[in-house]
Amino acid sequence: MRPSALRAAATALGLFAAALPGLTLAAAPGTPQAALTRVTSGGCCTGTVWTPDSRALLYIDRPPGTAKAAMYSVPATGGAAPSVRFSRVAFYSPDLKYAAIPQGNSTVVERLSDKKRWILNTQGAQLLWGPQGRVSYTVSAQSGNYDRRVSRVYALTLGEAPRLVATLYGGGAVAWLGNAPPGGGTLLLSGKLEAASKDRQLFTVNLQGGARRTLASALNLRGIQPSPDGKWVAYSVAFDSAARDGMFVQPTGGGPARRLNWFGSYQWRGSGSLLYIPLTLNVPTHTVRLYDLGTFQSRPLLNLGTKVQSGDWQASPDGQKVAFRRAGDGNIYVAALP
């Protein structure tokens, strides 16, 4: 999930959690205290992401005295000045093999290894990166009530013609699930199947056969995050009804959702556990906790010794570290997880 989406989910859940008296998950006695490494200064920067090898962080910046913004890299161990990783600001794939460059209503996709380019008629939509050179995008109407705007989801392997995968309202593609074989794969989508429908659906579409599987229905589905292997999805429902509000994990291959007994911002640590920071009131520090899908239990992992600003934190791809923007000075810090 993008950092902006995580922050939006955290804000919504914060309002929801505030209505629950007695909701506290403070760090238990004996919780390890984080040793923090500051990697940026001067209140820099938002929108930080990890490199695929978990060794460095990337962010967009335009330091004083520079002519234009660029994508900078800073080692997660600290102790080194940021350096320019990419001189061009673009939407880079998580594996850093491709760059998407908006050009009017089109998107130019460039393979960084050989500079080969493809032009996609995305109508300004952002690309959803998939494995093995696959991408998806959602083209939505630009006017009218969002809940009734028609959205068309397309998918393709670079170099091939796009295929219309689904038509829905007030939604679009969320993520690719697992590895996508040539010409196939499974997309996770969220939206209404009819403009007049009350509920949104969370469902999967298999691109090889077109089969759909509905996972959940609710007025609002937020914070949708599939596990790295695509076998699970975590999501929250807020401002719906007492029977449907909450946080859930659910197998994407079929099976009931499991309601979680905590609220907070969350990210996957591998495919069998979730890292989360509880939404608590009047606590001096934030604690990273772990929920194990095998035991259905959660436990505190690390007391950060400070607070995260606006839900702006990211787990490293290897699950061994977290980076977060610290409330107060706005700089990025890294902490190793036990």
- Other C-beta atoms lying within 10 Å of the C-beta of residue 88: 12
Residues 106-161 pLDDT 10s: 999 999 999 999 999 999 999 999 988 999 999 999 888 888 999 999 999 999 99
* Residue ranges per structural domain of the chain: 3-336
- Predicted local confidence at residue 266, as pLDDT: 97
- Other C-beta atoms lying within 10 Å of the C-beta of residue 161: 7
- Predicted local confidence at residue 258, as pLDDT: 96
Give the Cα separation of 308 and 234 in Å (integer). 21
Query: Would you state the structure tokens that stand for residue 18, as one six-digit string?
Result: 């505030």
Q: How far is CA 107 from CA 3, 113, 140, 142, 187, in A?
A: 22, 18, 15, 18, 21
- Predicted local confidence at residue 182, as pLDDT: 59
Give the Cα separation of 116 and 108 in Å (integer). 10
Where helices occur in the chain by DSSP H, the ranges are: 3-18
Strand ranges across the sheet with 297-303: 264-268, 273-278, 287-292, 297-303
Q: Are 190 and 221 in contact (CB under 8 A)?
A: yes
Q: Are 223 and 235 in contact (CB under 8 A)?
A: yes
Residues 81-98 pLDDT 10s: 999 999 999 999 999 999
CATH architecture type of domain 3-336 = 7 Propeller (2.130)
* Contacts of the segment 172-175: beta carbons below 8 A, 24+ positions apart: 172/138, 172/140, 173/128, 173/136, 173/137, 173/138, 174/128, 174/202, 174/224, 174/226, 175/128, 175/224, 175/225, 175/226
Q: How many CA atoms lie within 13 A of 278 on its CB side?
A: 27
Give the Cα separation of 317 and 132 in Å (integer). 18
228: CB partners within 8 A, 6+ apart = 268, 270, 271
Give the Cα separation of 74 and 76 in Å (integer). 6
**Letter for the amino acid at 13?**
L
Query: Would you state the structure tokens that stand for residue 6, as one six-digit string?
Result: 């995580």
The backbone torsions φ and ψ at residue 27, rounded to the nearest 5 degrees and listed phi first, read -60, 130
Q: What is the mean pLDDT of each run of 10 residues along the chain (338 residues)?
A: 41 37 47 96 90 97 93 96 95 97 97 98 96 94 89 96 96 90 82 95 93 95 96 94 93 95 94 94 94 95 96 96 96 97
- Predicted local confidence at residue 278, as pLDDT: 94
Give the Cα separation of 200 and 177 in Å (integer). 20
